[in-house]
């Protein structure tokens, strides 16, 4: 209700007694017509009583139903009581079509559909607004009562923010912190803390302090869609801040944001915040946040816990200690490890930049966005689905931390893989290649590493058979330089002489041929 001054109230009353209409009083006093209507001593309705006229210049009102008027022909009979869809003293355009409209409304058709059918099928000449108004009065809407929802012990805690008391420092600078309030839905046990900013980090620390103060963890947390916790509000599938998700996983609870613009979904903490503001903080000032939090802790213990709650009719502290606290989940062994996080792009060299240092990721994430979380000693990297893909120790600015497993095989030099790996590759090329490589490295030592790299590179341009022959000849000649082996590789393959075979499975003994002689050459 608008609060009017005494002069305005007297003016409304005086003008109403003179028979002025609401419209004329509102225009004269420069206020809204509804304000004139809601005022306890409000003006008389615009419809003038029988036999009276409007003292102003407003249009004459339509006679109210049930009143009698006088005309030249005599007394006008009382009109019938207005029916659904009609305006007082005025017959609705939809009245002739009442039966059809009622039937369509019973079938659940919308006012727009009913209007379309009337125009096309009945030749209705009125407008859509008349049909909508007629249908609305046919279906009176009765508001359903709210349903109360009580929670089992340890099942739920509701969380919300309000304004704290003023903090005035020594220099006189005033600032008003936020008041975090956590209420257990069953016992109404509360925790209050004044914090400077509604950041994700301070929100998490406030919740953690609440869990430690309560001595346990509720199964779920009901919050509104505050920016510190919710990235995208959605009643069915909200997107939470990844850090908040990790916090809930650490404590074994879940966070359920309410429907947007529905504060009654967390009505217990809404009332709890107002109670703390009005009872604990109203009219007070503090020298620091710490002083305000000490006062809030003492107030929770001596005032809030000792009260008899108006709904549960139980003492809050006693109900919490005896019923709800044993049902809370146990606290984890350690505090939640606080970290910072941000998105980073993977550069062309396969690294992300963080605080002027560089950390590698697997090659398949080149050019993509990743999540990075860093602590004083560790850097963790996640993909878009929050799957861990890399772990590094923190390095100083300007330094690189590269995991060898993140290098693609085509980008890793043989020397990085080690001498043993290169010798194994030579063994796979053939017996002579492996023998020459190992003998060469034994003879030449560290200088042979580059020779070994060059020898493995020859396999890209030459057949393995040719390399085997060249390596065999190099072994026979004790040639341990790469250019000597290349020269042997460039020489044409020598034509080996064919040896005479003394015996072979296909060659028969001469005695067998002698036995066949008489058959082939019979005597004449």
Handedness of CA 334, 335, 336, 337 (dihedral sign): negative
Domain-embedded: residue 70: no
427 shares a domain with 365: no
277 shares a domain with 183: yes
232 shares a domain with 284: yes
Domain-embedded: residue 189: yes
310 shares a domain with 187: yes
345 shares a domain with 265: no
| Domain final residue pick, 327, 350, 383 | 327
434 shares a domain with 407: no
Question: Tokens at residue 132, please?
Answer: 């909508």
The reported pLDDT for the residue numbered 220 is 94
Residue 470: CB atoms within 10 A of its CB come to 26
The reported pLDDT for the residue numbered 136 is 86
The reported pLDDT for the residue numbered 312 is 85
- The helix (H) or strand (E) run that includes residue 391 is strand 388-393
Residue 508: CB atoms within 10 A of its CB come to 10
The reported pLDDT for the residue numbered 457 is 81
The reported pLDDT for the residue numbered 475 is 86
Spatial separation of the C-alpha atoms in residues 102 and 83, rounded to whole Å: 13
Q: What's the CATH code of the domain at 283?
A: 3.30.420.10
444 shares a domain with 359: no
- The helix (H) or strand (E) run that includes residue 351 is strand 351-354
431 shares a domain with 401: no
The reported pLDDT for the residue numbered 67 is 44
Domain-embedded: residue 11: yes
pLDDT digits (tens, 9 = 90+) for 496-506: 555 666 666 77
The reported pLDDT for the residue numbered 1 is 43
425 shares a domain with 396: no
Domain-embedded: residue 441: yes
- Please say whether the beta carbons of 453 and 444 come within 8 A: no
- Degrees to nearest 5, angle at CA 76 with 75 and 82: 155
Question: Tokens at residue 119, please?
Answer: 């125009």
Domain that holds residue 391: 341-411
321 shares a domain with 174: yes
Query: Measured between alpha carbons, how far apart are the two ends of the chain, in Å?
Result: 150
Phi, psi of 181 (to 5 degrees): -130, 130
Alpha helices in 51-195 (DSSP H): 98-106, 111-117, 128-138
Give one word for 356, left, alpha or beta, with left for phi > 0 and alpha for psi -120 to 50: left
Question: Tokens at residue 48, please?
Answer: 């003038």
The reported pLDDT for the residue numbered 281 is 94
268 shares a domain with 203: yes
Centroid of chain to Cα 417: 43
DSSP-assigned letter for residue 155? T
- Number of domains the chain contains: 5
Alpha carbon distances (Å) from 503 to 165, 496, 500, 510: 113, 20, 9, 11
Domain-embedded: residue 285: yes
The reported pLDDT for the residue numbered 142 is 58
Domain-embedded: residue 75: no
Domain-embedded: residue 431: yes
The reported pLDDT for the residue numbered 499 is 60
Torsion of CA 242, 248, 252, 257, to 10 degrees: -110
Alpha helices in 264-343 (DSSP H): 267-276, 289-299, 316-319
Question: Tokens at residue 391, please?
Answer: 């772990």
Written as one string, the DSSP assignment of 488-506 is: HHHSPPP-PPPPPPS--TT
Domain-embedded: residue 333: no
Spatial separation of the C-alpha atoms in residues 327 and 333, rounded to whole Å: 18
| Domain final residue pick, 327, 359, 383 | 327
Spatial separation of the C-alpha atoms in residues 111 and 277, rounded to whole Å: 47
| Domain final residue pick, 138, 164, 189 | 138
- The helix (H) or strand (E) run that includes residue 10 is helix 6-17
The reported pLDDT for the residue numbered 302 is 94
- Please say whether the beta carbons of 101 and 93 come within 8 A: no
Give me the residues of the chain with pLDDT under 50, please. Answer: 1-2, 42-87
- Please say whether the beta carbons of 363 and 407 come within 8 A: yes
For tokens 């007082």, the residue is 88
On the 0-12 / 13-18 / 19+ scale of CB atoms within 10 A, 261 is: exposed
355 shares a domain with 290: no
The reported pLDDT for the residue numbered 22 is 81
Spatial separation of the C-alpha atoms in residues 14 and 293, rounded to whole Å: 55
């Amino acid at each position: 209700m608008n609060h009017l001054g005494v002069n305005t109230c007297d003016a409304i009353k005086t003008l109403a007694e003179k028979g002025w209409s609401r419209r004329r009083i509102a225009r004269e006093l420069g206020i809204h017509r509804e304000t004139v209507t809601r005022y306890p001593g409000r003006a008389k309705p615009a419809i003038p009583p029988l036999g009276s006229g409007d003292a102003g210049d407003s249009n004459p009102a339509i006679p109210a139903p049930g009143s009698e008027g006088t005309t030249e022909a005599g007394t006008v009979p009382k009109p019938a009581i207005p029916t659904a869809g009609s305006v007082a003293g005025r017959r609705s355009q939809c009245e002739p079509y009442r039966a059809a409209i009622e039937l369509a409304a019973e079938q659940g058709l919308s006012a727009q559909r009913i209007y379309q059918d009337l125009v096309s099928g009945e030749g209705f000449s009125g407008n859509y607004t008349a049909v909508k108004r007629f249908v609305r009065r046919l279906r009176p809407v009765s508001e359903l009562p709210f349903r109360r929802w009580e929670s089992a012990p340890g099942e739920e805690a509701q969380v919300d923010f309000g304004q704290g008391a003023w903090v005035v420092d020594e220099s006189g600078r005033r600032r008003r912190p936020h008041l975090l309030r956590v209420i257990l839905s069953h016992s109404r046990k509360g925790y209050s803390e004044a914090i400077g900013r509604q950041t994700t980090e301070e929100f998490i620390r406030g919740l953690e302090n609440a869990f430690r103060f309560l001595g346990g963890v509720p199964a779920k947390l009901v919050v509104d869609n505050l920016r510190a916790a919710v990235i995208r509000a959605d009643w069915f599938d909200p997107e939470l801040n990844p850090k908040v998700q990790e916090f809930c996983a650490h404590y074994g609870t879940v966070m359920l944001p309410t429907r947007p613009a529905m504060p009654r979904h967390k009505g217990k903490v809404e009332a709890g915040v107002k109670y703390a503001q009005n009872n604990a903080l109203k009219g007070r000032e503090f020298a620091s946040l710490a002083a305000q939090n000490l006062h809030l802790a003492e107030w929770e213990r001596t005032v809030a816990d000792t009260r008899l709650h108006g709904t549960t009719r139980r003492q809050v502290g006693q109900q919490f200690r005896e019923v709800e606290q044993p049902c809370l989940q146990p606290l984890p062994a350690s505090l939640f490890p606080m970290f910072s996080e941000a998105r980073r792009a993977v550069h062309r060299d396969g690294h992300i930049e963080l605080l002027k240092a560089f950390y590698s990721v697997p090659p398949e994430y080149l050019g993509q966005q990743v999540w990075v979380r860093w602590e004083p000693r560790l850097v963790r990297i996640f993909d878009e689905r929050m799957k861990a893909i890399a772990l590094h120790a923190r390095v100083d600015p300007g330094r690189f931390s590269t995991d060898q497993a993140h290098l693609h095989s085509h980008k890793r030099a043989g020397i990085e893989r080690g001498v043993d790996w290169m010798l194994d590759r030579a063994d796979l090329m053939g017996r002579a290649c492996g023998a020459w490589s190992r003998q060469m490295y034994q003879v030449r030592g560290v200088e042979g590493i580059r020779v070994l790299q060059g020898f493995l590179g020859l396999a890209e341009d030459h057949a393995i058979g040719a390399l085997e022959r060249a390596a065999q000849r190099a072994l026979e000649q004790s040639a341990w330089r790469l250019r000597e082996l290349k020269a042997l590789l460039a020489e044409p393959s020598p034509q080996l002489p064919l040896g005479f075979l003394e015996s072979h499975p296909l060659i028969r003994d001469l005695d067998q041929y002698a036995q066949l002689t008489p058959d082939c050459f019979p005597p004449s």
